[in-house]
């Protein structure tokens, strides 16, 4: 696998030239490219296109986020909480496990930056540790005098909700149609007529669905009033719902050179597909967007025949780490279920990788810190209340009177001001709104939108 960086910059060719790669780097860099070789020789013989191995199509996942549900929930264990000057609020889960003659301590420690998980054989310890020592076993930086026991009966539900707030089974990706000779954002978003080759590719991607009263994941598209078009493309991949924002299916506005109705959706996606029929290179900075961090460019050959081939290149911003599965060499695929499996895995992994980019990582950290603080307060107040030490108004405010719960009574007014004080408030608001929707918390979602006063195109993510 070879990646191109800014040192490989090639000046943009004349639109009438051919033989150029699918993607060209921007003049001032900032992106990397995977998949530079698309040469098959004189004929596309079967042995020149490497078969895909399904074992390489591994979806990235946050395995730690599922550990509490798998190993602790519904089983005998203990939970504790404390505050560390550097690590922030701490929530520790401890479980004693015995398999035959083997004794272990399974530990999970949640800090404002990450969650630590480890299994410690008791035989490796000189004596049975106290709770502070347990915390230090999984994170040496812990510096607290004591932990407090969590006595709230509903604590496990709150903890599992916190752990799994990072898990999503819904994805939305842009699909941009680039015709021969088109080199600007206005031209890309101005396409309204779909060629037979593009229609064939959309049918390959997924099912064409009527948006009116659509019951699946809608990715921010209007399913009531038809304001985002009448149709879209949808696919359920490994129980993950994927809605595509297809540029040609979003409303076209006469006289609007920027086609804001289209850009409001695709420009707020994180990953997009660019479909090409002929050799006109795509340059990532053609589209101005704070959100789009990666593009998968697909160029067709032998369209609408029995031997359809797709050339693929991938580009992402420099601070996005490489993501698999890696493209074969040459990066050419035959149309079929193997390529569809590869493509969806690549798209989903691309989005996960983009969350590690600096812009999203800071917002993720800020959001996690807010949620952990709220979890800590909920656990503390309700544990105090169980011992008769909490005030009635505190209990009501934090959800213990009326069946609320910590997500339901999220202290939005205080925390949103913290979260939105950074360089990109709309990005942070989007992540909070996405989280509110994924948790099915309409109350939090509505309050966030009203407090942030951000554009509907940013808030309308469900």
For 232, 246, 262, 422, the CA distances from 256, given in Å and listed in that order, are: 22, 18, 11, 32
Dump pLDDT digits (tens) for 175-193.
999 999 899 999 999 999 9
Q: Residues 95, 106: contact at Cβ < 8 Å?
A: yes
Does some domain include residue 432? Answer: no
Mean pLDDT of 205-225: 94
Query: pLDDT digit string (tens) for 357-410?
Result: 998 999 999 999 999 999 999 999 999 999 988 654 443 344 333 333 333 333
Kindly state whether residue 452 falls inside one of the protein's structural domains. Answer: no
**Helices 412-419 and 425-438, axial angle in degrees (round to 10):** 140
Total domains present in the chain: 2
Distances (CA, A) of 440 to 29, 72, 429, 437, 445: 40, 24, 16, 5, 9
- Residue 142 burial (CB count, 10 A): 22
Per-residue model confidence (pLDDT) at position 4: 56
Cα angle for residues 416, 115, 355 (degrees, 5° grid): 60
Check whether residue 206 and residue 217 sit in a common domain: yes
Please tell me the predicted confidence (pLDDT) of residue 10: 54
pLDDT in tens, 43-70: 445 455 655 555 557 888 888 999 999 9
CA proximity to 374, closest of 294, 311, 432: 432
- pLDDT reported for residue 19: 66
* pTM beyond 0.85: no
Q: Which residue's structure tokens are 């990646």?
A: 3
* Element spanning 273, H or E: strand 271-276
pLDDT confidence of residue 452? 43
Q: Is the pLDDT of residue 82 over 50?
A: yes
Contact between 166 and 65 under an 8 Å Cβ cutoff? The reply is yes
Answer whether residue 371 is part of any domain. Answer: no
Answer whether 458's CB lies under 8 Å from 430's CB. Answer: yes
- The domain containing residue 85 runs over which residues? 64-164
Query: Torsion angle of alpha carbons 374, 375, 377, 380, nearest 10°?
Result: 180
Percent of residues, the chain, with pLDDT higher than 70? 77
pLDDT of residue 178: 95
- 431 in any annotated domain: no
- More confident position, 415 or 183: 183
Average pLDDT value for residue range 8-32: 71
Q: Are residues 129 and 192 in the same domain?
A: no
Q: What pLDDT does 148 receive? A: 96
Do the domain assignments include residue 440? no
- Choose one of 127, 149, 164: the last residue of a domain: 164
Confidence of residue 254 (pLDDT cuts 50, 70, 90): confident
CB of 220 closer than 8 Å to CB of 294: no
pLDDT band at 334 (very low <50, low <70, confident <90, very high): very high
- Is pLDDT larger for residue 444 or for residue 147? 147
Span 257-269, pLDDT tens digits: 788 889 989 999 9
The answer to whether 379 and 81 are in contact (CB under 8 A) is yes
Convert the pLDDT of each residue in 92-118 to its tens digit. Answer: 999 999 988 889 999 999 999 999 999
CA distance between the termini of the chain: 37
Read off the pLDDT of each residue in 65-85 and give the average, rounded to a whole number: 95
Give the pLDDT mean for 117-140.
94
CATH classification at residue 129: 3.30.1120.160
* pLDDT surpassing 50 at residue 414: no
Claim to verify: residue 208 and residue 236 sit in the same structural domain = yes
Residue 405 CB: number of other CB atoms within 10 A?
Answer: 18
| Together in a domain, 143 and 197 | no
* 370 lies in some domain: no
Q: What is the pLDDT of residue 310?
A: 96
Phi-psi region of 20 (alpha: psi -120 to 50; beta: other; left: phi over 0): beta
Asked whether the predicted pLDDT for residue 328 surpasses 60, the reply is yes
DSSP per residue, 399-444:
TTTTT--TTTT--HHHHHHHHTTSS-HHHHHHHHHHHHHHTT-HHH
């Amino acid at each position: 696998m070879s990646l191109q960086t800014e040192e490989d910059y090639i000046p943009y060719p004349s639109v009438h030239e051919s033989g150029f790669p699918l993607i060209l780097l921007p003049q001032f860099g900032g992106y990397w490219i995977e998949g530079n070789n698309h040469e098959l020789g004189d004929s596309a013989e079967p042995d020149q296109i490497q078969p895909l191995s399904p074992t390489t199509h591994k979806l990235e996942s946050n395995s730690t986020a599922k550990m509490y549900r798998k190993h602790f929930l519904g089983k005998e264990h203990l939970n504790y909480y404390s505050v560390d000057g550097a690590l922030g609020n701490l929530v520790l889960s401890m479980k004693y496990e015995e398999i035959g003659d083997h004794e272990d301590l399974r530990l999970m420690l949640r800090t404002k930056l990450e969650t630590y998980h480890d299994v410690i054989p008791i035989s490796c310890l000189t004596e049975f540790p106290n709770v502070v020592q347990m915390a230090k076993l999984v994170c040496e930086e812990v510096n607290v005098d004591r932990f407090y026991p969590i006595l709230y009966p509903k604590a496990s539900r709150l903890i599992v909700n916190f752990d799994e707030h990072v898990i999503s089974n819904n994805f939305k990706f842009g699909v941009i149609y680039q015709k021969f000779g088109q080199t600007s954002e206005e031209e890309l978003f101005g396409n309204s007529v779909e060629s037979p080759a593009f229609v064939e590719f959309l049918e390959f991607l997924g099912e064409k669905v009527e948006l009116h009263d659509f019951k699946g994941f809608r990715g921010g598209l209007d399913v009531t009033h038809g304001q985002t078009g009448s149709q879209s493309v949808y696919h359920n991949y490994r129980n993950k719902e994927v809605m595509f924002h297809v540029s040609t299916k979003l409303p076209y506005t006469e006289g609007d050179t920027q086609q804001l109705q289209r850009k409001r959706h695709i420009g707020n996606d994180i990953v997009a597909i660019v479909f090409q029929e002929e050799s006109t290179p795509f340059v990532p900075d053609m589209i101005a967007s704070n959100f789009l961090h990666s593009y998968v460019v697909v160029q067709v050959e032998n369209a609408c025949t029995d031997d359809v081939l797709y050339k693929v290149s991938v580009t992402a911003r420099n601070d996005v780490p490489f993501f698999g599965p890696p493209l074969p060499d040459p990066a050419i695929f035959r149309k079929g279920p193997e390529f569809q499996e590869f493509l969806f895995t690549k798209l989903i992994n691309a989005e996960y990788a983009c969350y590690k980019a600096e812009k999203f990582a800071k917002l993720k950290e800020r959001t996690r810190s807010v949620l952990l603080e709220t979890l800590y307060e909920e656990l503390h107040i309700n544990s105090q209340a169980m011992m008769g030490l909490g005030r009635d108004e505190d209990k009501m405010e934090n959800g213990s009177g009326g069946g609320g719960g910590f997500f339901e009574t999220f202290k939005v007014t205080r925390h949103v001001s913290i979260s939105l004080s950074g360089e990109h408030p709309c990005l942070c608001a989007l992540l909070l709104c996405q989280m509110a929707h994924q948790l099915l918390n309409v109350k939090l979602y509505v309050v966030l939108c009203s407090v942030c006063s951000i554009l509907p195109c940013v808030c309308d993510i469900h």
